[in-house]
Structure 1
Amino acid sequence: MVKQVRAARTRQSLVRAAAEVFAADGYALASLPVISRRAGVSAGALHFHFASKDALAAEVESAAADWVRELAERCREENGARLQLLMRTMSGLLLAVAGDPVVRAGFRLGADPSRKSGAAMLGLWHRCVRELVLQAQSAGELAEGVCPDGVTATVVAATVGLEMAAAMAAAADGAVDGVTAGAIGGAMGAAQDGVRDGAEGGAADGVRAGAAGGAVDGVRAGAGGGAVDGGWLPAGLVEQFWSLVLPGLAASPERALEWMPPRT
């Protein structure tokens, strides 16, 4: 029994250490010796639990995917406006990406071109978003003419862009530089294209302005109230994204904007 507990702890340490390395360096540059040292275990112990780097990456992705599935399940159980829930869910996912290296690594591995067999983290998030958007359409929350697929693509693209911004900010010890601002602009630009396609251009001008202006000093994760591993979450940018996009997709923009959390 003691050996089983010890083995489980070693496995958990390896998964977390691997997630930290994959999130920081990507799959191709990550090495098993670095992972074993970070976990504080021998190379032999690592190979006892995982036969290869691919097997270790698959375990990290599986753990991250389980978290997204749990998030989607919680979404299904909640009541209230679907667009409001979508806003909260996106913020929760980005908070997890900033604070949990396993979730962060799951996204990085799923989008890493050097890992062609990656798990479908983005696919899971896409399905979660699309389900909420279709529910919003059925509830009459979407403006006439708004395409659910366009809204889904917009939210997923913005999530990926903001996740990249959070990762780069964390890597730079919270210094939001021009590269990070560029990623933010890309997310906002994706929102511009998606909303234009889905709602015949509504809010395109506002999104364009957001891509050009980007309120970078609102990135601090303090809105979440606690220390975040990596120290930063683009909370202010999430708010900006929704404040720009909601008027073009919500049937009642004034009511939708009331769902925005108060600025702190």
Structure 2
Amino acid sequence: MVKQERAARTRDSLIRSAAEVFDQGGSSAPSLTLISSRAGVSNGALHFHFASKAALVDAVGESALVRLLAVANGARQPGQGQVQLLVDATHALAGALRADVVLRVGFALSGDASRAAGTDLRQHWRSWVERTVRQAEARGELRRGAGVREAVMAVVAVTMGFEVLGTRDAAWLSASTVAGFWQLLLPTLVSADVLAAIDADGSHGVRALYGVR
């Protein structure tokens, strides 16, 4: 058990170190020696866990997906509507992208056209958004005439735009930027009575959980 725990910690450390190196210089140039050195382990230990750099890159993407799903599902609060969940999840995602290098690099890898197909975080995010919007529609939260397809397109396009732009300027991932988007979109998406109950700044629970300010 102790060996398994130590191996798991080493693997996690290598994934994080790889993400830090990729975040600074991309996934193609850095050497495995640099990654193992940053993790404080030998090259042999790295190769024990990952047969190649491609395998390590894939592991970063897979770890990022776990983190993405944890962020999205962790935004759920008791008694919360689906539209508020969507608002909260976008705030939580922006906060996590600012703080979590593995998640940030996972998204960057999804947009790397030179990389062989792997975990596509943007597609997973799109699927999660679509499920949530459809559940909002089924619960009567959307205003009459609001298109599910158009709502999904708007949320995914804008949040993924924030993700890309946020790699150069963290202001794109700020709570005020996310809230501004929702203040613009919500009146076209939900009825006035539903709108009155939604906090575009994110609910108190998600602000506390993810440090949204």
Give the match for residue 243 of structure 1. Answer: 183
Native 8 Å contact 1:18 1:35 kept in 2: yes
- 1:30-41 matches, within 5 Å, as 30-41=30-41
SS in 2 for 1:109: helix
Map 1:1-264 to 2 at 5 A. Answer: 1-74=1-74, 78-169=78-169, 219=171, 233-252=173-192, 255-256=195-196, 258-261=198-201
Query: 2:94 and 2:17 mapped to 1: Cα distance?
Result: 20
RMSD of Structure 2 on Structure 1 (CA): 2.5
Distance change >3 Å, CA 59–CA 255, structure 1 → 2: same
Sort the Cα spacing of 1:141 and 1:2 in 2 relative to 1 into closer, same or farther, 3 A: closer
Unaligned runs of 5+ in 1: 171-218, 220-231
After TM superposition, give the deviation of residue 52 of structure 1 in Å. 0.8
* Greater RCO (Cα-Cα under 8 Å, separation 6 or more): 2
Match in the other structure for 1:181: none
Q: State how far apart, in whole Å, the 1-side matches of 2:191 and 2:182 are.
A: 14
* 1:136–1:256 Cα change, 3 Å: farther
**For residues 4 and 194 of structure 2, what CA distance do their matches in structure 1 show?**
56
Alpha-carbon shift at residue 253 of structure 1 (Å): 7.2
Mapped contact 2:90–2:159 kept (Cα < 8 A):
yes
- Give SS of 1:80's match: coil
Aligned CA distance change for structure 1 residues 257 and 5 (closer, same or farther; 3 Å): closer
TM-score by length of 2: 0.83
Listed one character per residue, the Cα deviations across residues 113-137 of structure 1 (whole Å, up to 9, x for unaligned) are 1213220211211111111111111
For the 8 Å contact 1:243–1:257, the answer to whether it is kept is: no
Change (3 A) 1:157 1:256: farther
How far residue 78 of structure 1 moved from its aligned partner, in angstroms, is 4.6
The whole-number CA distance in structure 2 between the counterparts of 1:72 and 1:80 is 14
Contact 2:60–2:102, Cα closer than 8 Å, also in 1: yes
Rounded to whole Å, the distance in 1 between the matches of 2:76 and 2:5 is: 34
Q: Which letter maps to 1:237?
A: T
Question: Aligned equivalents of 2:98 and 2:43: distance in 1?
Answer: 29
1:168, 1:115 → 2: CA distance? 22
CA contact (8 A) 1:22 1:109 kept: no
Q: CA deviation at 1:49?
A: 1.3
Give the gaps of 5 or more residues in structure 2: 203-212
Task: Give the share of equivalent positions with the same residue, in percent.
Answer: 42
